[in-house]
Structure formats: C-alpha cells, structure tokens
Amino acid sequence: MGKKQKQKDKVPVPPQLPPDVPDEDIQVSDEDVQFVSKNPAYAGFVSSLDTQTITKHVTRVANTKEDDLEELYEKKLRKKKLENEEEKGVEVDRVDALPVKTLDGKLYYRTAPKGAKKAEISDKEDESDGNIGAVKLNKAERRAKLKKKRKEEKKQAKDPANIEEVDQNSQSEVLAEIKEDLTAAELAATKQRRIAELGTALLEDPESNIKSLRELLSFCKDGDKAIEKSALLSSLVVFRDIIPGYRIRLPTEKEQEMTVSKAVKKMRFFEGTLLSSYKVYLQRLLTLQPLPEFNRVVIRCLCTLLDAHPHFNFRENLIPAVVNGLASMDDVVRKLCSATIRSLFKNEGKHGGEATVEAVQRIANLVKIHDCQLHSDSIEVFLDLSFDEDLAKLKFEQVNADFKAASLALDETERRRIQAQTLTAVFNTYFRVLKHTIQLDATWSSGGSFGAHPLLSSSLKGIGIFSHLIDIDFMADLMKHLKILASGINPGNTKSPLTVSERIECCIIAFKVMRKNLDALNVDLQDFFIHLYNLIVEYKPGRDQGEILAEALKIMLCDDRQHDMQRAAAFIKRLASSSLCFGAAESMAALVTVKNLLQKNIKCRYMLENDVGGGSVSGSVVKYQPYSSDPHLSGALASVLWELNLLSKHYHPTVSSMATSISKISSNSKQVYMPTISPQQAYSELLLEKEKFSVNNDMKLNHKRKRANHNVSGEEVSSFEADKDGLRKKLSDHFTVVHDIVENEKLRRELGRTTVALQLHDEYEKNRKTKQEGLKKKRESI
C-alpha cells in the first residue's frame, strides 16, 4: 500500500491558468511598441481588420438560434460577391460542367448569365427567409401568405410575357444541345478525314510516310466505337498492301553497329516501324475480339491478314485466333474462319505447308477440348487438304537447282514430314469422333448446341476420301467401329441415337475403304449387307436422306458384278415392297436397283412368274420369310414380285413406266443387260421432275381459278372434276388393294397356324391309335 501511495504522489500536477485580467487594466510596455514597429510583418494582419464591423452593435432577435444568425451573415456575404462579379456572365463551377478541349489543346468552360445565377440565389434566400424570419408568423398569417403567393403564381402563368420568356429559355437550351451535338459530329468527321488522309498517304508512298502508321493506329484507341472500327478497317487495308512477301528479321546489335548506306538505313527503319506497328495492331485486335460489338470486325481483319500473308511474322498469333472462331455460335464468324482455313490449305505455296500443319493441329486440339461438340464446319475444312499419292515417285533430282530456288519447292524429305504430321492430326481427329460416338455416356445422347454427334458425318466423309492413306494396322479397328455404328447398338447393348441416314453412311464408307484398299484388305462385308437390308425397312421418306440411300444402293448393290443369288433375291423383294411406301424419287431409285439386279442375276427373274407357290427356283429355303433380318435366310426366291402390278398404277408416270418395264423382262432370256442409269441419277432426276410435276399441277389449279373468274363454260369445269374424281377413284382402289393384301397376309398366317395345329392333332391321333392297337395285340396274345 505504501508503494502505491508514493506512486500517486509522484503524478505531475498541471499548472494553473493565469488569473483573468480586464482589458482596461492591460498596459502596453515600450518594449512591445518598439518590437512591433521594428517587425511590422508580425502585426500586419491587424491593419486589415474591419474595425467598424467588429465594433458594430449587433442586436439579437428574441428566440433566434445561433445557426440561423450564421446563415444570415452568409447570405449577406454572397450578395456582396454577386455585386462585385462581372456584368457579362458568371463562370460555372468546374465540377458541375465538363470542359471542351479544342484541337489546339485549350480548355473552355461553360458560363451562365448573371441574372439567372442571381435569380437562383434569391429564390433560395426567399425560401430560407420563410424559415428564419425575424418574427415568427402564426397560422393565420402563414395561410394568408401562401394564398397570396399562389395568386401571384397564377397571374404570372397567365401573363403572355412570362410564357414567351419560358419559351425563349427552352429554345435556348435546345439550341445549346444542338450546338454540342454539332461540335461532336464535326469532331468525328474531322477524325474520319484524318484517318482517310493517313491511309491514302501510306498507300501512295509507304516508305516515306511510315511514321504516319503510328498516328493511324492511335485512332484504334479513340474511345468512339465508330472511329475505332474505321481505324481498324483502314489499318487492315494498309497492312494488307504494304506487308512484304517475306518475313522480316530485325538486325542484331552487331549489325546495327556496322556502317551501312542510306538506302539500307531507310529500309531498316521501314521494316522496324512496320513490324512494331503490326504487333501493336494485332494486340489491339486480340484485345477487342471478346467484345460482341467488335467481334465480327476483328475476325474479318484477322482472317484477311492470315489469308493474304500467311508467311509473315506473328503467324503463330493469327492461326489460334482464327481456329478458335470455328467454335463460335455466330454463323458469320464461323463461315469467315472456315473459308480462311480452306484457303490456307489450298494455297500452300504461300507458306510452304507449315501453316497447314499448325492449323490442322490446332483444329485437332479444339475438337479435343470441346469433346467433339462443334459445328461440322470445324472439320469439313479437312476435305480441302491435298496429299501426294506416293512421294517416292516424285523425281526431284530431275529438277535443276535454279528452278527449285525460283519455285521455292520443298525437297522430298521435308514435304513427307509435313504431310505425315498433317495426316496424323487429321486421322486422330476422325478416330476421336468415332470413339466419342460409340462410347457409353448417359449425357451425350442429349447433345449440345450442334446436336449429339455433329462431327460424325464430316468424319465419315473424310475417312472415305483419305482411306487409302490410312495405315493398314488401323484398318481392322476402323472396320470394327463402322460395324458397331451401322448396327445401331452400342457395346453395352444400348440403342445408339444415330439416325438411319448416318447408319447407312457407315455402310457406304466401309465399302469405299474396302475398294480403295482391295489389295491389302481381306474383310467380310456380309454384316454391312445385313445392316442395309434391315435399314431399308426403317427408312422413312421426309425424315431420312434419300440421296444417301440411293448412294448405298449404287455402291453396295449395283456396282458389284456378282451377287449371291439368295441375297440378290432378298434385296429385290424388299426394295419392291418398300417402293409401295416410299416417295416417288426413292421408289424410282429402288426400282432402278431392282431392274439392275434382275438383269445381272438370271435365276432371280423366275420371281416374275406367277406360278403356284412362288418362283420356279426356291433355293435352299423353301418358304418365304418376309420378317427375317438376314437376307440369306429370307427365302425370297420362293416369292413373287406382285408389287410390280401395283406400282404400274403409280400416280407418277415415271415410276409407273419403270415398274411396267421391269415386269416385261423375260425369265427365259439368258442375256445379261448393262444398266443405263444409276439409282443416284434416277433419284436426282425424279426430284427435278417432281418439282416440275408439282409446278404443273399448281399452274393447272391457278388456270382453273382464272377460268372460273372469267366465267368459262361448264364443260371444261366438269372435265376437270371428272379427272379429279377419276384420280380419287384410282387412289382409293390402290389403297383398297394394299389393305386387302395386308388382310390376306394375316389370314394366311392364321391359316398356317391352324394347319400346323391340325397336323399335330392328326399325328397325335395316329400315335394314340397305334398305341391302342399295340395294347390290344398284347392282351390277345396273353
């Protein structure tokens, strides 16, 4: 306790204030007067004091707060400031109004009339005066004041002079806005003219005016979108025309220290300025590319530069930007990028093939990143690639050195290396798409923005074109994948979402691959015939593509010289039956194939006979099995082509005449005919005839309406109605016959089941009687 008490005692005590001394008792010494006289700067502020204001007696109003008095003083000070300002105008606060910068760099601030400023301040003062009045008003006085104020406002509103003043003020404000807009438009027009002048000067003499290129690029960062787009497009034209036909290599430090001529210095300055400006331009383009309002303009600039100068510097920045545009959802951007890459592949002489390898590898990586969910344009560009059939056969040694140097031709080793890298990236992409289509994934069937498997069709086309360049070691895996895709069943016994057209296309590609590699492959294509046989039944006109079906019929059935008799008969029967349900074009392609197969296979002509029980040659299968999935087990030779009788009454005359000509083929003749038309030609020609056919019908109907409007005779109208009724009758008869055929087939199936049941019952009765007789004999012997 003692220590704590001592610590409290040691706390310092603050000094006491001096006693208050009245002003009257204060005396100034002589020393103070001398100091002030010698040092006037210390007391100079005293001379500027307003003694009158300080000594002025202020009368305080009763019940008035200090804050209100301070506001009164501030009002008086503001009035004095307004009186001392110039009469012409008052400068607006620089925070409230933005300045205008002229071309010479000076800033001008807007000003407002003095009267308007005073009016605003006086209005505020009047409003505040009502709150800080010297004397408080009671309720009655305040009401009277408000009424008086409202009456004055109504009178002022009715006064035409006030109305004119308001109109003049509004007109002046509108004119001021118009002047501002005109100023901005004039400034934009000036910039546009300057951009045009710089571009023209650079195009006329690039080496002398190369310094202007930097000023032109400065407009690309103007801030005004219209100016920036104009500057980007103008710079594009300049770069496209002045970029040389070689890559620029900047001089090293040692080369810069060497003494060179003026021409070399000028060339070095030109190349260095061009390359640095080109780099700045590309950086600006890549910065603006993600912005939607600049995306199309930027892509157009990038594609034009890559197409015009694929050999120039910074190609490694252009190719990725253009390739990434293939994944764009914008059709315009995607088409521009696709056309540029196609041109890059076709014009390899500009870059020697290196740009082709870079682009193909970038596309392969893009497909991998997006998990094959891209538009078909992204890999359809591969179809424009060209490869040498056999580089070993190229005799470069026969070309002299001068010609090789002039043509920039690559040697055999370098060309082989470039094409090998390109082929590797292309087939990696194709096989990736096939595996992605086959893989078992619960989410892939729903697909993305471009569908479940948008790249499959393009990949199949590419495989069909470049299949002769595939390594033989990969052929077995390729055919295995094609069989799985054509079957429509994935390895996990799940149904594949491939369409009928895509499955038919897999069969077509398998035959193309086999024929291009006939010497190296020994593949059984029986499975693909089975798939096509079943796909013909699944085909639906309007939903599936008829040109793919016609191509399959040509490649798989018509192009082969020899066919198995059972298989040929099965396809003949199935195509004839399907023609009853196909459209006119598909029916024509099927009938052309039927005629082709009948002309090549003499024994199949017995199907045209109408003997009891079918054709004369039944083959190994006695009974016709129309629902068999295997053409070899269908027993089609035991059937009759009764469909030709119905097709001869087809509504389209071309189909009708073809069916009639097929039915007239003689089964006794052993002559082999050569086909004169392919299924593809028949399909395409009938599509054109179908258009003409429909147009003629429309013209007849329109002609009928015109004749009705002109009051034609009743005989013409009645003849048209008669034709219409006859057509309706033919159609009804046709469908009645078809319906009867279906009913007859049902009755035949029921009759067959009943016959089998009766035969089993008879056998049972015979066996039972035999057993009973045996028992009787045993009993008699006993």
pLDDT (tens digit per residue) in 198-207? 999 999 999 9
Q: Which residue has the tokens 């994948």?
A: 481
Question: What's the average model confidence in pLDDT over 253-282?
Answer: 90
Cβ atoms within 10 Å of 473's Cβ, excluding its own:
7
Instruction: With a cut of 80, say whether residue 435 has pLDDT above it.
Output: yes
Most confident of 262-276, 385-399, 555-569, 707-721: 262-276
Q: Say if residue 404's pLDDT is above 50.
A: no
* pLDDT band at residue 400 using 50, 70 and 90 as cut-offs: very low
Helix ranges, 219-371 (H)? 225-242, 253-257, 262-288, 292-308, 315-324, 331-346, 354-369
* pTM listed for this prediction: 0.63
**Tokens encoding 749:** 């199936």
* Residue at token pair 């990038």: 302
Q: What is the mean pLDDT of residues 492-505?
A: 83
* Residue bearing the bigger pLDDT, 270 or 412: 270
Please report which helix (H) or strand (E) contains residue 90, including its range.
strand 90-91
Q: Is the alpha carbon torsion for 203, 206, 208, 212 positive or negative?
A: positive
Residues sharing a CB contact under 8 Å with residue 559, sequence separation 6 or more, in sequence order: none
Taking each helix axis from N to C terminus, what angle separates 475-487 and 500-516, rounded to the nearest 10 degrees? 160
Q: What is the pLDDT of residue 279?
A: 94
Q: How confident is the model at residue 441 (pLDDT cuts 50, 70, 90)?
A: very low
462, 379 Cβ separation under 8 angstroms:
yes
Reading the block at residue 172, the tokens are 């002046």
Reported confidence tier of residue 119, pLDDT bands at 50, 70, 90: very low
Task: Please state whether 573 falls in left (phi above 0), alpha (psi between -120 and 50) or beta.
Answer: alpha
Length of the chain: 782
* Residue 542 banded pLDDT, cuts 50, 70, 90: confident
Separation CA 335–CA 164 (nearest Å): 61
Using CA atoms, how far apart are residues 205 and 199, in angstroms rounded to an integer?
Answer: 10
Q: Which residue has the higher pLDDT, 126 or 524?
A: 524
Q: Are 484 and 434 in contact (CB under 8 A)?
A: no
Which H or E run contains 198? helix 160-204
DSSP state of 671: P
- Cα distances (Å, whole numbers) of residue 657 to 247, 500, 587, 649, 688: 67, 29, 12, 9, 17
Say if CB 465 and CB 510 are below 8 A apart.
no
pLDDT at 608: 87
Residues 6+ positions from 508 with CB-CB distance below 8 Å: 464, 548, 551, 552, 555, 556
Which residue in 679, 674, 689 sits closest to 589, CA to CA?
679
Residue (of 272, 276, 328) closest to 300 by Cα position: 328
pLDDT of residue 299: 95
CA terminus-to-terminus distance, the chain: 145
Identify the band that residue 8 occupies on the pLDDT scale cut at 50, 70 and 90.
very low
Q: Tell me the one-letter amino acid at 612.
A: V
- Predicted pLDDT of residue 118: 45
Do residues 589 and 683 touch, judged by C-beta distance below 8 A? Answer: yes
- Reduced to 3 states (helix: H, G, I; strand: E, B; else coil), residue 449 is coil
Please report the pLDDT score of residue 453 as a whole number.
83
Question: 337 near 320, Cβ under 8 Å?
Answer: no
What is the token pair recorded at 416? 């082989």
Residues 6+ apart with CB under 8 A from 473: none
Amino acid, res. 396: F
Confidence of residue 779 (pLDDT cuts 50, 70, 90): confident
Say whether pLDDT at 614 is over 60: no
Residues 629-640: what's their mean pLDDT? 89
Q: pLDDT band for position 57 (50/70/90)?
A: low
Residue at token pair 């009705």? 708
Is 322 in contact with 316 (CB distance < 8 Å)?
Answer: no
- C-alpha 731/C-alpha 725 separation (Å) is 10
Residues 128-159 as b/e (b if ≥16 CB within 10 A, e otherwise) read eeeebeeeeeeeeeeeeeeeeeeeeeeeeeee
Plot region of 26 (φ>0 → left; ψ -120 to 50 → alpha; else → beta): beta
Mean pLDDT of the region 325-345: 93
Q: 124: part of which helix (H) or strand (E)?
A: helix 114-129
Report helix, strand or coil for 611.
coil
Cα-based angle 726, 732, 735 (whole degrees, multiple of 5)? 140
- Between CA 185 and CA 191 the distance in angstroms is 10
Q: Average per-residue pLDDT in the chain? A: 77
The identity of residue 435, as a single letter, is K
pLDDT at 569 over 80: yes
pLDDT of residue 34: 76
| CB burial of residue 360 (10 Å; 0-12, 13-18, 19+) | buried
Which of helix, strand or coil describes residue 610? coil
Tell me the mean pLDDT in the region 570-592.
94
Rounded CA-CA distance 768/766 in Å is 5
CA distances from 72 to 84, 129, 145, 629, 677 (A): 19, 9, 22, 107, 109
With bands split at pLDDT 50, 70 and 90, how would you rate the model's confidence at 323?
Answer: very high
- Provide the phi-psi class of 164: left if phi over 0, else alpha when psi is between -120 and 50, else beta: alpha
Q: Which of 339, 336, 341, 345 is nearest to 299 (CA)?
A: 336
Whole-angstrom distance, CA of residue 506 vs CA of residue 430: 13
Which position has the higher pLDDT, 649 or 89? 649
Q: Residue 465 forms beta bridges with which residues?
A: none
Q: In the predicted model, what is the mean pLDDT of residues 679-705? A: 65
Q: Distance between CA atoms of 200 and 206, rounded to whole angstroms?
A: 10
Find out whether 497 and 457 touch, Cβ atoms under 8 Å.
no
* H or E stretch covering 107: strand 107-108
Task: Find the helix or strand (DSSP H, E) in which 100 lies.
Answer: strand 100-101
Calpha distance 135→61 (Å, rounded)? 8
pLDDT of residue 749: 79
Residue found by looking up tokens 């796909």 in the block: 535
Cβ 120 vs Cβ 91: under 8 Å: no
pLDDT of residue 698: 46
| Half-sphere exposure for 583 (CA within 13 Å, toward CB) | 20
Among 304-308, 609-613, 766-770, name the one with the lowest average pLDDT.
Answer: 609-613
Query: In the prediction, which pLDDT does 671 show?
Result: 62
Are the CB atoms for 164 and 156 separated by under 8 Å?
Answer: no
∠ CA 148-153-156 to the nearest 5 degrees?
125
- Helix or strand or coil: residue 101? strand
Task: Tell me what the mean pLDDT of segment 743-760 comes to.
Answer: 81
pLDDT confidence of residue 674: 62
pLDDT tier, 128 (very low <50, low <70, confident <90, very high otherwise): very low
Whether residue 454 contacts residue 376, with contact meaning beta carbons closer than 8 Å, is answered with yes
What proportion of the chain, given as a percentage, has pLDDT over 90? 33
- Give SS3 for 424: helix
DSSP state of 111: E
Query: Bridge-partner residues for 448, per DSSP?
Result: 451
CA 653 remoteness from chain centre = 44
DSSP tag of 558:
I
State residue 444's pLDDT score.
Answer: 47
Residue 661 has pLDDT above 60, yes or no: yes
